[in-house]
Amino acid sequence: MKSKFLMFILLSFLSKSIRAQTYFALTPVLGIGTSFSKIKSDDSFSAKNNFASVFTRYGFLLNFHKNKIGLSSGITLSRSLNVNFSYKHNIFSNSIYVFAVPILLSYDSKEFNLFYIKNNRPYMEDEEENVKSNFFLMSFKLRPFAGINIDFVDRMSEDTVINKGYDYTETLQYSILNNNGLSSIFGFTVQFLQKGKERLALNFYFNQGLTKYLSANYTYTENNNTQTTSVVSKGSYISIGLSYPINIWDLEKRKVIKGKF
């Protein structure tokens, strides 16, 4: 009986702590990125990666925050799955849409305040109000994050492209290896603040694919000399973007409102 009573007191304390420091936010995200793939070829084959491909990435995240710890999940859409390489002035590129479900864990750093602006108006009688009228021109906090993406790859018809010139022939065959898999994602967010409230944020992402999704087998024949290479994409990319959190349930405010009635 005594242990049950102690458990009840502990749960009551934890629930009050959670209610006072917990909130949910819906965060639209929009950004651009560039993807890269891996080339496997003979040493004499001079094919190289081409980073000219740029894609857009958009979606939304549902964020849960408790103290400085955050847990986020949602859905994003991008054309980040790409085999992109060049050889002898020819550029080959093919991209596919990827629906991703990210699961991210984040941590809020301390708040950084820059460029203190002091109010030049006459001194107020209320010292607290006078202090509130002063502000920082820029306030933000760094939020590193890491997690995984559950990837769902849009279907693509496997096809073969054959180009013939005067003294050469090149063949490019695309193949789908997997339609779903995983990737690791990490980066950091610069979360800008206005009077302590979260506003616009700048996000930096690095996504490392863990599953092979798309491959391209390339053959180049010139004067009876044949060279081959294969390009494999795991959906890896780097990206930069913007986001804006929209609070949908702030338990601290909810508690204050209840206390007024």
| Residue 82, strand partner residues | 95
The predicted pLDDT at position 51 comes to 56
Share the mean pLDDT of the chain: 77
Tokens at 204, concatenated:
């930096």
Sign of the dihedral defined by the CA atoms of residues 236, 238, 242, 247, in that order: positive
The pLDDT tens digits for 45-68 are 555 565 557 899 999 999 998 888
The pLDDT tens digits for 180-189 are 999 999 999 9
Q: What are phi and psi of 22, to 5 degrees?
A: -125, 140
**Greater model confidence, 104 or 230:** 104
For the whole model, what pTM was predicted?
0.73
**Greater model confidence, 201 or 96:** 201
The whole-angstrom separation of Cα 190 and Cα 72 is: 16
**Greater model confidence, 190 or 261:** 190
Per-position b or e across 103-121, b if 16+ CB within 10 A of its CB: ebebebeeeeeeeeeeeee
The correct CATH number of 22-156+178-213+234-259 out of 2.40.160.20, 3.40.50.300, 3.40.1190.20, 2.60.120.1060 is 2.40.160.20
Cα 70 from chain centroid (whole Å): 14
Tokens at 184, concatenated:
């690791």
Enclosing H/E stretch for 97: strand 90-107
The predicted pLDDT at position 78 comes to 93
Tokens at 114, concatenated:
């820059």
Tokens at 244, concatenated:
């804006």
- Smallest CA-to-CA distance from 186 within 237, 134, 135, 112 is with 237
Sequence-distant (6+) residues with CB within 8 A of 211 are: 151, 178, 180, 181, 182, 183, 234, 235
Sequence-distant (6+) residues with CB within 8 A of 165 are: none
| Residue 201, strand partner residues | 191, 243
> Which of 11-15, 91-95, 199-203, 236-240 shows the lowest mean pLDDT across its residues?
11-15
Tokens at 168, concatenated:
């050469």
Q: Coil, strand, or helix at residue 118?
A: coil
pLDDT for residue 5 is more than 90: no
Report CA-CA distances (Å) from 91 to 24, 51, 94, 126, 178.
Answer: 45, 10, 10, 68, 24
> Are residues 97 and 65 in contact, defined by beta-carbon separation less than 8 angstroms?
no
Three-class DSSP labels, 188-238: EEEEEEECCEEEEEEEEEEEEECCCCEEEEEEEEECCEEEEEEEEECCCEE
The predicted pLDDT at position 259 comes to 43
